[in-house]
Amino acid sequence: MKEIFQFFQPTTIIFGPGAVSEVTKLAAGLGKKALVITSNFWLKERKVLQKLSKNLVKNKVRHLYYPAVSPEPKARSVNSAVSLAQSEHVDLVIAIGGGSVLDVGKSIAILLKNFGRAERYLELDGSYKIRNKGVPFIAIPTTTGTGSEVTKNAVLFNNKTKMKRSIRSEFMFPTYAVIDPKLTVSLPQDLTALTGIDAFTHLIEGYLSKKSNILTDVFSVYGINLIKHSLPKACKDKAKDIDVRSKLSLASLLGGFALSNSSMGICHGLAGTLGSIKSIPHSAAVAILLPHVLVFMHGKLDKIKILSKILMKKSGTKSELRNWFRTFYKKIGLNHKLVDFDIKPEDLKNIAQSALKTNSIKGSPVSVKKIDLINILKKALAE
Ligand SMILES: [Fe+2]
């Protein structure tokens, strides 16, 4: 082994069924007043939050709830939450929910110690740099896709530029990631499949990335296998099986390591652009694009052969790889099509042009031109 590599993961991870009961102890050691960010779903699903509230009170942590309503969080709503947190003298943020809820929590925690509106800190749109550590932040994921509980960025929609951008800093890593697979058993089949494929894509793009290293490869390959075997079970008769759900939570966490320590590629570059220009939900976009991106890279990168062996037990041809995904998506009940999202052939040039500027595509392990992106999109659109 000759390479020098770095792996950075400052978030303390607490993982396992029932882990959410650890939150109040952790919170008591971090602050006196918490802002708890959550989604409407968890506000209705009262049992978990009632228990959390009761234990926070018992541990002398005052707290208030803030609902993160949009699945595509807006910088503007983060600013309102920060104002509320300041007026309430909040010194700790807890987020319980999917990736966007965690991203909102992460942004509030950092902006409480960095002056100015969220838009100012968005990559490409703003010019401010994060200079200070935020207030302590506890991330509690309830889906198994984004890996946001262990990443250093938060994706927000900028109303001014109409683009989805990230606030990114080494200071953005959550203080604690409390990962309780029990919280994911109520995730419906479609969301289990979609978020699972998002995690799958983090692991696959992270594995193929130019920035991957031996350690990220170990995590990524392990995670790819977990999803390959467990996602079909979770989408069928084992939805409530804690062992299956634990494997998906672990895969999502490992996907977060790939996001933070390796990098993404063509699929995430295009998906981010489709999300901004055409409002396609992130996980649907990556699910549609992933097979086409891998077919494009087939024959251009040695690691694709290894990936194919992991998936299909042989290196296989382009069409065998495409068919493997068709069968896999059938097993998990995923049938999203690009054509369903109001994309017309005349939109493709603009989408490809915009995607070329993304960091994900700039870091692609295979050289890619605008025409290649247009062809990938055309193939996706033809299905
Ligand atoms: Fe993703």
Asked if 212 and 179 sit in the same domain, the reply is no
Asked if 216 and 126 sit in the same domain, the reply is no
Asked if 142 and 245 sit in the same domain, the reply is no
Asked if 161 and 203 sit in the same domain, the reply is no
Say how many Å lie between the CA of residue 289 and the centre of ligand 1: 12
Asked if 245 and 207 sit in the same domain, the reply is yes
Q: What integer pLDDT is reported at residue 260 of this predicted model?
A: 94
- The domain boundary, picked from 183, 204, 227, lies at 183
Say how many Å lie between the CA of residue 163 and the centre of ligand 1: 16
Is the dihedral angle over the CA atoms 210, 215, 216, 220 positive or is it negative? positive
**Cα gap 143→248, rounded to integer Å:** 9
**Cα gap 183→194, rounded to integer Å:** 17
Listed in sequence order, the residues at least 6 apart from 113 whose beta carbon sits closer than 8 Å to its beta carbon are: 132, 133, 134, 135
Residues in the chain, total: 383
For 11-40, b where at least 16 C-beta lie within 10 A, e where not — what string? Answer: bebbebbebbeebbebbbebbeebbbbbbe
Asked if 361 and 257 sit in the same domain, the reply is yes
Q: What integer pLDDT is reported at residue 163 of this predicted model?
A: 85
Asked if 305 and 287 sit in the same domain, the reply is yes
The answer as to whether 6 is a domain residue is no
Asked if 194 and 162 sit in the same domain, the reply is no
Report residue 227 as tokens. 């999803």
Q: Which domain holds residue 106?
A: 12-183
Report residue 169 as tokens. 């800093």
Please give the model's pTM, rounded to 2 decimal places. 0.95
Say how many Å lie between the CA of residue 50 and the centre of ligand 1: 31
Asked if 166 and 209 sit in the same domain, the reply is no
Asked if 77 and 196 sit in the same domain, the reply is no
**Cα gap 265→306, rounded to integer Å:** 17
**3-class SS at 12?**
strand
- The domain boundary, picked from 123, 149, 183, lies at 183
The answer as to whether 1 is a domain residue is no
Asked if 269 and 224 sit in the same domain, the reply is yes
Number of neighbours of residue 1 by Cβ within 10 angstroms: 6
Per-residue pLDDT of the chain (383 residues; tens, 9 = 90+): 668 999 999 999 999 999 999 999 999 999 999 999 998 888 777 788 999 999 999 999 999 999 876 778 899 999 999 999 999 999 999 999 999 999 999 999 999 999 999 999 999 899 999 999 999 999 999 999 999 999 999 999 998 988 888 999 999 999 999 999 999 999 999 999 999 999 999 999 999 999 999 999 999 999 999 999 999 999 999 999 999 999 999 999 999 999 999 999 999 999 999 988 888 999 999 999 999 999 999 999 999 999 999 999 998 999 999 999 999 999 999 999 999 998 988 999 999 999 998 889 988 999 999 999 999 999 999 98
Asked if 206 and 134 sit in the same domain, the reply is no
Q: What integer pLDDT is reported at residue 1 of this predicted model?
A: 67
Is residue 146 within 8 A of residue 251, CB to CB? The reply is no
How many distinct structural domains can be found in the chain?
A: 2
Say how many Å lie between the CA of residue 355 and the centre of ligand 1: 15
Element (H, E) at 66: strand 62-67
Say how many Å lie between the CA of residue 259 and the centre of ligand 1: 8
Say how many Å lie between the CA of residue 256 and the centre of ligand 1: 9
The answer as to whether 348 is a domain residue is yes
The answer as to whether 301 is a domain residue is yes
Number of neighbours of residue 221 by Cβ within 10 angstroms: 17
Number of neighbours of residue 133 by Cβ within 10 angstroms: 16
Q: What integer pLDDT is reported at residue 2 of this predicted model?
A: 67
Element (H, E) at 330: helix 318-331
**CATH number of the structural domain spanning residue 336:** 1.20.1090.10
- The domain boundary, picked from 146, 168, 183, lies at 183
